[in-house]
Amino acid sequence: MIGNARWVACAVTLLMGIGSADAQNSNTSNLDSSGTYRPRAHTSEMLPNAYWVHKDLLSGGMPHGPDAFEELRRLGIKTIISVDGIKPDIDSAKRLGIRYVHLPHGYDGISKKRLLEITKAIRDFDKPIYLHCHHGKHRGPTAAAAACISAGWLPSDSAPIILKTAGTNPAFKGLIETATNAIPLDPKALDELRVEFVPVAELPPIIETMVAVDEVFDRLQVNQKQGWSQSGRADALLLKEHFMELHRAESQGVHGIRQPEFQESLRQGLDAAGLLEMQWTKMENASTPDTVLHQGLNDAMKRISQNCTQCHTQFRDNSTGQ
């Protein structure tokens, strides 16, 4: 799959401004007994991989369902910032009086413009703030670290600690560079920045379809762990349809990528998704599904996972991808 940061303009210059002494004074709640900065874990079944990276900023995964939003309310969260591509559940937040802001970015890093927007948001919006991506491991912690440093809330050397604590994959070189290269910004640059913050950002069609693929595949993985239930049949068909749409659109140049390698990767993904759907058909036609048929489903899932990983590495995860 392809990263979505390439469609965000990168035209704003970073400016030095606030010293690290001010940043050190603002994060006392995250200092351990030895005076070393540490993100504070927030143990929760509703908020995946959640850490207080600053007293005013909780980083984690996407909140799912009423219980997750109720927990955010109990924590006093006033603003939610999503850097994920999935459409935020703005209705659940609105019912509890929580503002939602959508500032998505890709796995290949955060553009200077988008980082300025996220930094302005955490500085100016009501606090405390919950900043999330999908799983709370990669894009969210990167945005949280880079924005806190840019706002002068944390010193620059806190970035590696945040990313390591959250479990950010070092293979996401663009994300690592964004966080570790972040510097304090001149407050005037943020004051002068004009942004129309929206609860749901408009995404290019390819990004929306890729997000849909991720959602369906996540459900299939849960189904797989539970030993395969009938609900997986519909998701297998839906996954194949998503890959068909991606392949069809790319073959017609709709996405404007026009790379043979990308087209081939989509074709392989479609083949693997088709195999998964075919295995479900065999399961339905079998009088008693056996371990061989279940293994066929598992093998197809492995092929899809490998295809996604290869495609992500080549086209999404690093700024060298096209």
pLDDT above 50 (res 224): yes
Query: Best-predicted range by mean pLDDT among 184-188, 237-241, 284-288?
Result: 184-188
Query: Is residue 198 one of the residues assigned to a domain?
Result: no
- Residue 309 and residue 246 share a domain: yes
- Residue 179 and residue 309 share a domain: no
pLDDT value, residue 314: 82
Global pTM value = 0.69
pLDDT value, residue 252: 66
- Residue 171 and residue 115 share a domain: yes
Query: Is residue 200 one of the residues assigned to a domain?
Result: no
- Residue 120 and residue 47 share a domain: yes
For residue 150, give the CATH number of its domain: 3.90.190.10
- Residue 20 and residue 136 share a domain: yes
pLDDT value, residue 245: 77
- Residue 169 and residue 80 share a domain: yes
* Phi, psi (rounded to 5 degrees) for 288: -140, 105
pLDDT value, residue 160: 97
Of 136, 166, 192, the domain-final residue: 192
What's the average model confidence in pLDDT over 210-217? 86
pLDDT value, residue 319: 53
Q: Could you tell me which residue, 6 or 200, shows the higher pLDDT?
A: 200
DSSP per-residue string spanning 192-248: H------SS----HHHHHHHHHHHHHHHHHHHHHTT--THHHHHHHHHHHHHHHHHH
For residue 251, give the CATH number of its domain: 1.20.120
Classify residue 153 by its DSSP letter: S
User: Which has the minimum average pLDDT: 31-35, 136-140, 253-257, 274-278?
Assistant: 253-257
pLDDT above 90 (res 114): yes
- Residue 230 and residue 139 share a domain: no
Query: Is residue 80 one of the residues assigned to a domain?
Result: yes
pLDDT value, residue 106: 82
Question: What is the C-alpha separation between 170 and 85, in angstroms, rounded?
Answer: 21
pLDDT value, residue 313: 83
What is the tens place of the pLDDT at every residue in 18-66? 333 334 334 556 888 888 899 999 999 999 999 999 999 999 999 999 9
pLDDT value, residue 87: 87
Of 192, 225, 256, the domain-final residue: 192
Q: Report percent pLDDT > 90 for the chain.
A: 57
Query: Is residue 19 one of the residues assigned to a domain?
Result: yes
- Residue 125 and residue 93 share a domain: yes
Q: Could you tell me which residue, 185 or 30, shows the higher pLDDT?
A: 185
pLDDT value, residue 283: 83
- Residue 119 and residue 250 share a domain: no
Confidence of residue 300 (pLDDT cuts 50, 70, 90): very high
Confidence of residue 318 (pLDDT cuts 50, 70, 90): low
pLDDT above 50 (res 123): yes
Query: Is residue 9 one of the residues assigned to a domain?
Result: yes
pLDDT value, residue 64: 92
pLDDT above 50 (res 91): yes
**Alpha helices, H only, the chain:** 20-25, 65-74, 90-95, 112-124, 139-150, 159-166, 173-180, 187-192, 205-225, 231-251, 260-285, 291-311
Question: What is the C-alpha separation between 24 and 27, in angstroms, rounded?
Answer: 6
Q: How many domains does the chain have?
A: 2
pLDDT value, residue 132: 98
Query: Is residue 217 one of the residues assigned to a domain?
Result: yes
- Residue 278 and residue 168 share a domain: no
- Residue 178 and residue 247 share a domain: no
pLDDT value, residue 284: 81
pLDDT value, residue 23: 40
What is the tens place of the pLDDT at every residue in 160-173? 999 999 999 987 88
Query: Is residue 129 one of the residues assigned to a domain?
Result: yes
Q: 118 in helix, strand or coil?
A: helix
- Residue 160 and residue 61 share a domain: yes
pLDDT value, residue 6: 38
Q: Could you tell me which residue, 124 or 241, shows the higher pLDDT?
A: 124
Provide the domain limits for residue 227: 205-316
Question: Is the CB of residue 10 less than 8 Å from the CB of residue 113?
Answer: yes
Query: Is residue 321 one of the residues assigned to a domain?
Result: no
Mean of all residue pLDDT scores within the chain: 85
